[in-house]
Amino acid sequence: MEFLSDVTVELVRHSAADSDVVWAARVSTAGEQSLEAVGQDAERSKGLINYLMRDRHGSPFEHNSMTFFISAPILVFREFHRHRVGWSYNEESGRYRELQPVFYVPGRSRKLVQEGKPGRYRFVEGDDDQHKLVAEAMETSYRRSYESYQEMLEAGVAREVARAVLPVGLFSSMYATCNARSLMHFLSLRTKDERATVPSFPQREIEMVAEKMEALWAELMPLTYAAFNAAGRVAP
C-alpha cells in the first residue's frame, strides 16, 4: 500500500511553439507565405501574440498540441474531465486491470480548514492534531476498502464490480492532450493567481496538477505564456 501527497505530471509529447501562433494568425494577411515569415522578427511576433490575446482572437492558439501524462487521485480526474472543449483523454481502466493500492493523503502544506462562504472559501492551516487525524482516518479507511476489493477479486468477482468499494482518494492515471487555448482556459479556472482579473477558487489538488502543467507549457511557449499573464489570465 502506498500513500502519496503529491501528483505527477509529465509532458510526453508536444508540437507547440510561439511560432505556431504567428503563422496561423498571419495567414489572414500573408496567405501561404505566412510560414516563411515565422521567426523573422521576434518583436513583431511578440506584439502580434499580445494583440491576439488581448482582443481574444483565440483560434491561432489552437494550432499546437501537448500530451501530458498525469497521475492523481480520482477526485482530481472527476473535476478535470469536466473540461470538454479542446481536450482528449485516455484513462487507465478499472475493468481490464486490477487497480493498484496507491492513495492520496494530504501533505503538511495542504491547508485543511475551510472558512467563508461557498465560492469564496478561504483555507487556513490545520493544526498537528488535525493533520494526524486526517492521515490516520484516511489510511485506515483506504486499507479497509482495498482489503474488501481484494477479497472480492479473490472470490472471483469481476474487477468492474469489486471496484465500487474504492474511494476517490485512489490514484488513477491518464493521458490528456490539449492545445494552448484549451490549456489557458483550464489554467484560468484551476489555478488561483494574483495576476488573474477573474479570480478562481479551485480545489488545491487539481491546482497542483495545473501548476505543473503550467510550468511545462511556459517553457514551450514563453511569449504566449507572458501574453496570457499580461491579459489577466483570461483565455482568448
Which amino acids are annotated as binding site for FAD, given as ranges? 59, 82-84, 91, 179-181, 185
The helix/strand/coil state of 37 is coil
The grid cell for 99 is 487497480
The grid cell for 158 is 469481476
Closest distance to ligand FAD from the beta carbon of 231 (Å):
16
Q: Which is nearer to ligand FAD, 172 or 188 (CB)?
A: 188
Is 26 noted as a catalytic residue in this protein? no
Q: Could you give the angle at which helices 42-54 and 18-30 cross, rounded to 10 degrees?
A: 80
Single residue of 14, 54, 57, 83 touching ligand FAD by CB under 6 A: 83
Q: From the candidates 97, 190, 204, 233, which is the catalytic residue? A: 190
Instruction: Show binding-site residues.
Output: 59, 79-84, 91-95, 163, 179-181, 185, 190
Check binding of 200 to ligand FAD (CB under 6 A). yes
Closest distance to ligand FAD from the beta carbon of 5 (Å):
22
| Other beta carbons within 10 Å of 82 | 10
Check binding of 201 to ligand FAD (CB under 6 A). yes
Applying CB under 6 A, the span of 18-26, 76-84, 96-104, 154-162 interacting with ligand FAD comes to 76-84
Single residue of 84, 95, 97, 117 touching ligand FAD by CB under 6 A: 84
Q: What are the two backbone dihedrals, phi and then psi, of residue 113, each rounded to the nearest 5 degrees?
A: -110, 130
Beta carbons of 14 and 66 less than 8 angstroms apart: yes
Check binding of 3 to ligand FAD (CB under 6 A). no
CA angle 57, 58, 63 (to 5 degrees): 125
Single residue of 63, 185, 212, 233 touching ligand FAD by CB under 6 A: 185
| Other beta carbons within 10 Å of 230 | 13
Partners of residue 102 on adjacent β-strands: 2
Q: What are the two backbone dihedrals, phi and then psi, of residue 67, each rounded to the nearest 5 degrees?
A: -115, 125
Closest distance to ligand FAD from the beta carbon of 67 (Å):
17
Q: What are the two backbone dihedrals, phi and then psi, of residue 195, each rounded to the nearest 5 degrees?
A: -80, -10
Active site residues: 190
Q: Which residues bind ligand FAD (CB under 6 A)?
A: 82-85, 185, 189, 200-202
